[in-house]
Amino acid sequence: MTAARTDPDRPPAAEPAGPADRRLPEGFRVLLDRRTRRLDGGAALLGGAPPRLMHLSERARGLLPGPGRPLVVTGPTERSLARTLLDAGLAHPVPDVPATVTAAEVTVVVPVKDRPLDRLLTALAGTGLAGPIVVDDGSADPVPLRRSVERAGGTVLRHATPRGPAAARNAGLAAATTPFVVFLDSDVVPEPGWLPPLLAHLTDPAVGLVAPRITALDPERGAGLRGAVGRYEAVRSSLDLGPDPALIVPRSRVAYVPSAAMLVRVSAVGAVAFDPAMHVAEDVDLVLRLHAAGWAMRFEPGSRVAHDHRTRPVEWIRRKAFYGTGAAPLALRHPGAVPPAILSPWTAAVCVLLLLQRRGATALAAVVTGVATERLARRLPRLDHPRRGAALLTVLGLSGALWQTASVLTRHFWPVAAAACLVSRRARRAVVVAVLAEGLADWWRHRDRDPRVRTGPVPHLLAHRLDDLAYGAGLWRGAVTHRTTAPLRPTGPGARR
């Protein structure tokens, strides 16, 4: 399977415009992210997307409730503080407020080709959503599909020849008459209660896109958790972005959301949400364009949509490689938005010195770390304990850099690492350490993500390495096809806000 050739320099047919209104309504509630740290007794907050250190005024400190308690918008001051925390990714909305958007204002758009929709249509029954619009993208036998959709009260649009999922979604979007559209792929099944948490986020007029958490489908209804690949995908699928809410921001923990399930504000995405020339990574392209236009996007794990994961090994590997081919056109269209690693100069220097595996280089890495910590402390004069805060930031920055370096060796740059292993004992040692340490740490972080399965460290490690090899191969194939090194170039934290 190969990626379609596109012109990365050609802009999409319609660029989204930014939100006209960003005022949070009265009663809106926000809660600090569990990763946000309070420093100096609450004088500063550390966290966000991307990570930052935010100093709070005395008034803001007085307004911010204690741990575990939400900030409620009751006036302009609270509204301003809540908006600042939301935009920084330091806090998230509490999605239990009454939604101002009803299900009747949302149309479901489903692109499909040669696949039955009975599971999905059954799950949508009784939700109050507007009749679904199903876009048949060139199915060989369209009659059974049309009958099942019409029985469910939906509408079928047909492309006589396949145009791709992006074009199919755009066709459904154009036919929708509601102010909101939820895109669902034909291989997903929304779980009970999935819609209200998404609608609650639309109370914020600056939110242009909300996405649910995508989990593995039960084996009774699909491939689901079957086999080693199925169990691995249940805890490590690239579609499942985890159990924590997040602001969707490029180059952050949740940098994209898959188009398998997403709710959009039509006024945000415009008439053409997805670039039809892109047959891979069109959802990431949409996220990057909405972010550039100033729209806020939210990932809401309280809403769950099950996905029928690919579990046949050969098909699974091909799909991972196909995803990798999307990095090149994205990197050309959005320079600096999808780098393989984001490293500051001092963390990059430390990682290179450690890779040399020499005593002198290791000692020099410690010196560089100490100097970076002291320089950072001098830039934090507003903290009561600047060195303590600088040490914390240094540890977080260096641990993230080491994690990224291990990932780059085993995923993005594995062809280079493999070539180096042929001629260098130190390279072999570094790669073995990265393969084992990163793989086992990845298993530990994700082992409990789906309580229905238990994956051992060895099967997870093997599947994770195959995942990386396939994605990396697709990444290099895309770079060669598009004749660019853009998706292979690491960048610094200040290269793109």
Confidence of residue 6 (pLDDT cuts 50, 70, 90): very low
List helix spans (H) across 158-224. 165-175, 195-201
The half-sphere exposure of 8 on its side-chain side, counting CA atoms within 13 A, is 22
Around Cβ 226, how many Cβ atoms within 10 Å?
Answer: 15
Alpha-carbon distance of 224 to 21, in angstroms, equals 42
With a cut of 50, say whether residue 392 has pLDDT above it: yes
Q: Which residues contact 76 (CB under 8 A, 6 or more apart)?
A: none
pLDDT at 496: 40
- Cα distance between residue 11 and residue 32, in whole Å: 37
Q: Measuring CA to CA, which residue among 344, 368, 339 is closest to residue 356?
A: 368
Q: Which residues contact 57 (CB under 8 A, 6 or more apart)?
A: none
Give the per-residue pLDDT at 236. 95
Q: pLDDT tens across 428-466, in order?
A: 999 999 999 999 999 999 999 999 888 899 999 999 999
Looking at residue 470, the DSSP 8-state letter turns out to be H
Name the 3-class secondary structure at 186: coil
186 touches 117 (CB < 8 A): yes
Check whether 68 has a pLDDT greater than 90: no
Question: Which phi-psi region, left, alpha or beta, contains residue 303 (left: φ > 0; alpha: ψ -120 to 50)?
Answer: beta
Cα atoms in the Cβ-side hemisphere of radius 13 Å centred on 329: 26
Mean pLDDT of the chain: 92
Q: Are 250 and 291 in contact (CB under 8 A)?
A: yes
Nearest to 114 by CA among 64, 56, 158: 158
All structural domains of the chain: 29-93 (no CATH), 103-333 (3.90.550.10)
Lowest mean pLDDT across 91-100, 290-299, 394-403: 91-100
Per-residue pLDDT, 95: 80
Say how far residue 432 (Cα) sits from the centre of its chain.
28
Q: How do residues 227-247 score in pLDDT, each as one tens digit? A: 889 999 999 999 999 999 999
Q: What whole-number distance in Å separates Cα of residue 347 and Cα of residue 401? A: 6
Nearest alpha-carbon partner for 34 in 301, 239, 251, 257 = 301
Q: How far apart are CA 174 and CA 105, in angstroms?
A: 15
Q: Taking 50 as the threshold, does the pLDDT of residue 58 lie above it?
A: yes
Give, for 37, the enclosing helix (H) or strand (E): strand 37-39
Is the pTM higher than 0.75? The answer reads yes
User: Pairing state of beta strands 37-39 and 44-47?
Assistant: antiparallel
